Structure 1
Amino acid sequence: MSEDEELLAAVEAVTREVGAWLARRQADEPVAATDRAGAFAAFAAVDGPASAQLRERLGALRPQAGWVDDELAQELPATGEWWVCDATDGAVQYLLGLPQWAVTATLLREGEAVVAVVHAPLLGCTYTAVRGAGAQRNGARIAPSRRELAAAVLATSQPPTVGADPVARRRAGESLTAVLGGPALAVRNLGPTALQVAQVGSGHLDAFWEYGPDAVNLLPGALVATEAGAAVSDATGAPWTPAATSFLAAPPARQGELLELLAAVR
């Protein structure tokens, strides 16, 4: 077993601990806040302590690794080791009392994700991956779906910054129009980005695409999907990097068809 595979087990244990802490504090009903400020305050009251727990425990596992503080960071360090994490990925769902949220933790080394965990406590699933060693869901190896596009359920989302980015906003709309006009069975948004991308790796979703820079949210799911055998690229078919402004994860047999649909986006 490699050093990274040994580290993965410890990282998974940390995400489970933090996930259980958050799950105990999530209400069954939506938060009472009726305005943006109130919702942000309610979220900070749980996400702040959860993030501190995640940072403390992961920092103890890898003291030499830095910590990316900005969850909306559009550029990630290209050298050294860094933790890229989100204690409550799916803030909106968490505040609404919905189960579609996850704790994510990724170790970045020399600009590449090498260890990733996406743990969704209330959905009962944990995705893990180590670069070069495959990906698992709840301890079992996973692989993308083999469904044809006419039987496929695709997913998409928009980065938190898309509202302030007119180009990404336009491209998101154009891509949805293009894909809805194709043969796919359905298009959905099922919660946090990292979880949806990981679900492409296990075949629970057939593909996921997005426009706009979204490195922190995409990074853990991208490693899971890649190690599971999915094709991960930008919307032109070029290899995806954290600096890319578009993203596509799909079974290799479906990638070409989806790239043709997305080619309509200016």
Structure 2
Amino acid sequence: MDRRADAGTDTGAGTGGEADAGTVDGLRELLTGVEAAVREVGARLAAGQPAEPIAARTRAEAFAHFAALDGPAAARLRARLGELRPQAGWVTDELAESVPAEGEWWVCDATDGAVQYLLGLPHWAVTATLLRDGAPVLAVVHAPQLGGRTYRAVRGGGAELDGRPVAPPERELAVAVAGTSQPPGAAGDELALRRAGESLTAVLGEVLAVRNLGPTSLQVAQVGSGHLTLFWEYGADPGNLLPGALIAAEAGATVSDAAGAAWTAGSDSFLAAAPGLHGPVLEVLGRVG
């Protein structure tokens, strides 16, 4: 994993001409610029997305097509966010299994949901998350091809969907629609693979439906707005979980690992659920070894 700040940057406090991102008001001011950058990149990617699946016979061919679009988009996002918060470092591998524990860092994904993007499907998103000492303090998740929906949140300031505050509604577990996914490196994690299978069997018997609706970040954010009732996953996946985790928590959902402990970027499992259902879901996941 390549983690570095740009040469010559400062990891200390902002300068006088920048938003004071150490306060809620300062984070909100910064959030406006971050959302504009994310929307700009999303519009460019949406314009370049093929309507039909990309004609590629192999994984290498498919991702060569994708890199030609994603590379410039990621570079543009980095440039825009660098202008907004130049002292923050940049985690260059959003699929990495760990993130820096100290300082300010951007964790971003120009195309969260690359597989769907390549297939001409709308279920992908552009994400940007600012970390401070390993924890998210600002996040934007924007889905250009899903009506342009945009989730955003700052720590201590609540969460919004398209500019409106959101909160998860109360539901019984029997009518819950759950989301789940697997980290990009799940195939190499035998424990995560086993737990994913066992937990799917356990959850299916308790809820109305289980779905995988594409980008992990977007699904977790949807728990905050009530479009999904819960989301769980096994395996380390901080780059994909961090933005949605902040949004869901700020909306009022309960976020933890699958055993009920506080979730951090280093956790090996994840659960976000409407507050009244978090305990019952933990009981269901407790059947998993």
Task: Tell me, yes or no, if the aligned pair for 1:162 and 1:169 is still in contact at 8 Å.
Answer: yes
> Please, which of 1, 9, 12 is the counterpart of residue 35 of structure 2?
12
Task: Tell me, yes or no, if the aligned pair for 1:14 and 1:57 is still in contact at 8 Å.
Answer: yes
Deviations 1:191-223 (A, max 9, x none): 000000000000000000000000000000000
Distance, in Å, in 1 between the alignment partners of 2:169 and 2:72 is 38
Distance, in Å, in 2 between the alignment partners of 1:205 and 1:72 is 24
The equivalent residue for 2:159 is 135
SS of 1:260's partner is: helix
Deviations 1:116-137 (A, max 9, x none): 0000011120000000000000
> Please, which of 83, 99, 110 is the counterpart of residue 133 of structure 2?
110
> Please, which of 52, 60, 71 is the counterpart of residue 94 of structure 2?
71
The equivalent residue for 2:56 is 33
1:171 aligns with 2:171: no
Distance, in Å, in 1 between the alignment partners of 2:70 and 2:274 is 34
Distance, in Å, in 1 between the alignment partners of 2:57 and 2:175 is 40
The equivalent residue for 2:82 is 59
The equivalent residue for 2:5 is none
CA RMSD, Structure 1 to Structure 2 (Å)? 0.7
Distance, in Å, in 2 between the alignment partners of 1:215 and 1:118 is 15
Distance, in Å, in 2 between the alignment partners of 1:8 and 1:29 is 34
Q: CA deviation at 1:22?
A: 0.1
Matches within 5 A, 1:84-163: 84-124=107-147, 125-163=149-187
Q: CA deviation at 1:145?
A: 2.4
> Please, which of 275, 282, 285 is the counterpart of residue 252 of structure 1?
275
TM-score normalised per structure 1: 0.98
Task: Tell me, yes or no, if the aligned pair for 1:145 and 1:204 is still in contact at 8 Å.
Answer: no
- Where does the alignment leave 5 or more consecutive residues of structure 1 unmatched? none
Distance, in Å, in 2 between the alignment partners of 1:140 and 1:227 is 13
User: Counterpart amino acid of 1:137?
Assistant: L
Distance, in Å, in 1 between the alignment partners of 2:205 and 2:50 is 39
Q: CA deviation at 1:181?
A: 2.1
Question: Structure 1 segments of 4 or more deviating over 2 A?
Answer: none
User: Counterpart amino acid of 1:155?
Assistant: G
TM-score normalised per structure 2: 0.91
Distance, in Å, in 2 between the alignment partners of 1:28 and 1:72 is 26
